[in-house]
Amino acid sequence: MRVRQGNDRPRSSLSILQFPWLLAGRRNWKGLARSLAICIPAYALFFSVNIAHGTFRSFADNMAPFKPVDISRLDTALFGQMPSVWMQDLVGATGLFAEAAFLYWTTFFWIPTILIGVVAIGRGRSFLLRLILLHAAVVFTADVLYAIVPSRPPWMDADLVRIVAAQSQDGVHLDRNPFAALPSLHVAVPLAFALWFWGLEKTDALRRLAPALALWSVGMAWSVIYTGEHYVVDVIAGYAWAVLVFAILARLGLVHARRHDVVEVAPGAAPADLGMLAPRTIPAAASDQAA
């Protein structure tokens, strides 16, 4: 997003990217109202996609023409032993390690929510819609595969503690379809977000989030394998799925908004109203010299 303020010429870079501090740092009710006007529709669309995904996924196993596939033999053939079993035998399935793995697993649900708000306020509608499109394409195409080829998770095929269920307060896993395992969306979605942010312009400060999101995806791979939710094969398929969907949308020109998109902001309003996500502007004379 580029912001035009008065006679200043735009420059597409952001200062600080912490979304929670953005709302907390509002200086006036008008600015807060503008943020809510942007975020409420953004979150309504994002949550609608997730609700539709969850609904379809919960019934996908009933639509499958085949019985759930057992992938344990493939993991054992590749590694000599199921990695989930080896990891739980090494560090145990209870205690601080298990609690940390479970908490890390839950980041799958709230980190994308924060990122949607960051993009909604910091980049605007065009960029936001493309990010949600990528997210929807990854999860909905995976849902189709779940309906065609359901697969069994490790905790069904080996002597494993289902750490996610054990750590939940009610002891029940929240997923209504345990056979929606291949590919793993817990790694596919973080990687898709990392690819999207990496695809931004090099001068865009939001691009700096990409390496952290890629590391988040790697950590999520450890979490889902250790907790017995996914095989390594599921994780590899998840990475491949994210790359494939991203590549197809990029080929179609649907990944990022056009770079010359400009958002008009009232003179003198951008820094105060956009808070710490406000794009930096430079005077026309200085930008001409830089050019």
% of residues, the chain, pLDDT over 70: 74
Q: Of 15, 44, 22, whose CA–CA distance to 113 is shortest?
A: 44
Q: How confident is the model at residue 69 (pLDDT cuts 50, 70, 90)?
A: confident
Q: Is residue 144 over pLDDT 80?
A: yes
Task: Provide φ and ψ at 2, rounded to 5°.
Answer: -115, 140
Task: Provide φ and ψ at 263, rounded to 5°.
Answer: -105, 125
Burial code of 114-146, b = ≥16 C-beta within 10 A, e = fewer?
A: ebbbbbbbbbbbebbbbbbebbbbbbeebbebb
Give tens-digit pLDDT for 175-229.
677 888 899 999 999 999 999 999 999 888 999 999 999 999 999 999 999 999 9
Task: Name the CA dihedral angle for 200, 201, 202, 205, rounded to a multiple of 10 degrees.
Answer: -70
- How is residue 52 written in tokens? 């539709």
Contact between 277 and 178 (Cβ < 8 Å): no
Range 147-159 average pLDDT: 88
7 class by beta-carbon count within 10 Å (0-12 exposed, 13-18 middle, 19+ buried): exposed
Q: Between 274 and 39, where is the model more confident?
A: 39
What are the extents of the domains in the chain? 2-290
Q: Is residue 56 over pLDDT 50?
A: yes
Give tens-digit pLDDT for 6-23.
444 444 444 434 455 455
Does this model's pTM top 0.85? My answer is no
Tell me what the pLDDT averaged over the chain comes to.
Answer: 80
% of residues, the chain, pLDDT over 90: 46
Contact between 235 and 153 (Cβ < 8 Å): no
Range 33-54 average pLDDT: 88
* Sign, Cα dihedral of 104, 105, 106, 111: positive
Rounded Cα–Cα distance for residues 5 and 177 (Å)? 50
